[in-house]
Amino acid sequence: MSLPNVFWQRVFAGIYNLIRALAISHRLSTKDPRASSTKPKEPRKPKAPKAPKLPKVEKPPKSQNKPPKTQKRAKGTKEGQDKSKAGCKSGGQQEKITDSFQKVKRKINRFKGMTEEELLTKTLPDILDYNLNVVIIGINPGLMAAYKGHHYPGPGNHFWKCLFMSGMTDDQLSHVDDQSLPKKYSIGFTNIVERTTPGCKDLKSKEIREGGKILLQKLKKYRPKVAVFNGKCIFEIFSKEVFGEKIKNFQFGQQPKRIPETEVVCYVMPSSSARCSQFPRAQDKVHFYIKLKELSLKLHGKVTTADVQETEYTFDLEKAQDDAKKMAIKEEKYDPEYEVAYGGCYTAISNTCSSSTPATRMYIFDEKNHCGINITF
């Protein structure tokens, strides 16, 4: 071995021994983490034994003879004040609210003390005569019609308004004038079913079918010129029962078939009720009343050929109100039962129409475009 190699081996060995000595001294001066991990763990203390469970004690049966619960009164009464004072003394515990605190709906006296059960026993008589020009056919009487004893008495019904706007009557009439229409204007009234109900949905299908047969006998007996069905559903029921077929491609107005064994023409117009969604306003229905008037004139040999019909008239509203008091034309406006039923809105709406200045109204209908305009100025 050469001298330089031996020299370097000894130098490296000295450096190695020096580093090792420094490391050992440093380890001794600080805690050895490996020494702490090697310490044995202390054994866990044993858990104390659980106490044995005690047997369940049966509850005594509830006594059935409990004192009856008393209803609470409002705080304004003497008993309520006494109970509230007693509650303050007894630890401030609040009693449960009973049914006496529930709000009770106030019933509206629409029929002057007459109950609905009493109205359901009433019927509305027909207003018919031989060889009338028009007979208006409804489904059955409602509660208001049975109470008033007249046809179409509802304040929201458009029948009497459309009758006047179309020119079928000279004056604005109301339900109290229904008995005078056969002699004055040759117009009658009847229904398919005589029984009074709150709504037409309360009718049974059997009595509607039987009512259609009875209506057929009435039309054969009195033979009016035109049988007017006030509503699409009324004619559909009648057609299925009398003609034995369901209507296809229905259109309002004159129908292709006539009453069997007669020359009575069938005419269908929208329901005069304000609930008719297809024709919600009176001016939407006037066109069918005008066409009914033209059909009635045509059957009497009077034909109108104008495509556009114009009706213009003027009147004094203040004078009309004075006449109404004498002739009872506008009884609906002063009917207190309507005021209660409509929550005060009926008179408010009617008062907005009053005016001391004369008004001019014009209704123009375009037959080609099937539209009408009602103008007030």
CB burial of 340-374 (b: ≥16 within 10 Å; e: otherwise) equals ebeeeebeeebeeeeeeeeeeeebebeeeeeebee
Q: Which of 133, 150, 151, 287 is catalytic?
A: 151
**pLDDT score, position 168:** 94
In DSSP terms, 230 is beta-bridged to: 269
Distance CA 361, CA 166 (A): 12
Under 8 Å between Cβ of 95 and 87: yes
Task: Tell me which residue range forms the domain holding 257.
Answer: 116-304
Helix, strand and coil in the chain, % to nearest 5 = 40, 15, 45
Task: Report the CATH number that the domain containing residue 150 is assigned in CATH.
Answer: 3.40.470.10
DSSP helix/strand/coil, 67: coil
In the residue annotation, 287 being an active-site residue is answered as no
Whether residue 355 lies inside any domain: the answer is: no
Q: Which of 133, 140, 191, 230 is catalytic?
A: 140
Sheet with 308-315, strands from edge to edge, namely 308-315, 359-366, 371-376
Under 8 Å between Cβ of 125 and 132: no
Whether residue 151 lies inside any domain: the answer is: yes
In the residue annotation, 151 being an active-site residue is answered as yes
Residue 372 dihedral angles phi and psi, to the nearest 5°: -135, 155
List the one residue out of 246, 241, 236 whose CA is nearest residue 209: 241
Whether residue 300 lies inside any domain: the answer is: yes
Distance CA 170, CA 168 (A): 7
Under 8 Å between Cβ of 187 and 181: yes
List the one residue out of 377, 373, 341 whose CA is nearest residue 360: 377
| Distance set, CA 303 to CA 291, 296, 297, 367 (Å) | 12, 10, 7, 15
Whether residue 148 lies inside any domain: the answer is: yes
Whether residue 185 lies inside any domain: the answer is: yes
Under 8 Å between Cβ of 85 and 93: no
Tell me which amino acid residue 2 is.
Answer: S
| Distance set, CA 7 to CA 19, 86, 145 (Å) | 19, 112, 136
Whether residue 243 lies inside any domain: the answer is: yes
Q: What is the pLDDT along the chain (377 residues), one digit of tens a residue?
A: 556 677 888 888 888 888 888 888 777 776 555 544 555 667 777 777 777 777 777 777 766 555 565 555 554 555 555 555 555 554 555 555 555 556 656 666 778 888 888 989 999 999 999 999 999 999 999 999 999 999 999 888 999 999 999 999 999 999 999 999 999 999 999 999 999 998 888 888 888 889 999 999 999 999 999 999 999 988 998 998 888 888 888 999 999 999 999 999 999 999 999 888 889 898 999 999 999 999 999 998 876 655 445 555 455 666 666 665 665 444 444 455 555 554 554 444 444 444 444 444 445 555 545 555 554 44
pTM: 0.55
Whether residue 236 lies inside any domain: the answer is: yes
Distance CA 27, CA 349 (A): 106
**Distance from CA of residue 234 to its chain's centroid?**
22
What would the DSSP string read from start to end of 3-25?
HHHHHHHHHHHHHHHHHHHHHHH
Tell me which amino acid residue 273 is.
Answer: S
Provide the domain count of the chain.
1
Whether residue 16 lies inside any domain: the answer is: no
What would the DSSP string read from start to end of 299-356?
HTT-----SEEEEEEEE-HHHHHHHHHHH-TTGGGG-HHHHHHTTTHHHHHHHTT--S
Contacts of 321 (CB under 8 A, 6+ apart): 330, 354
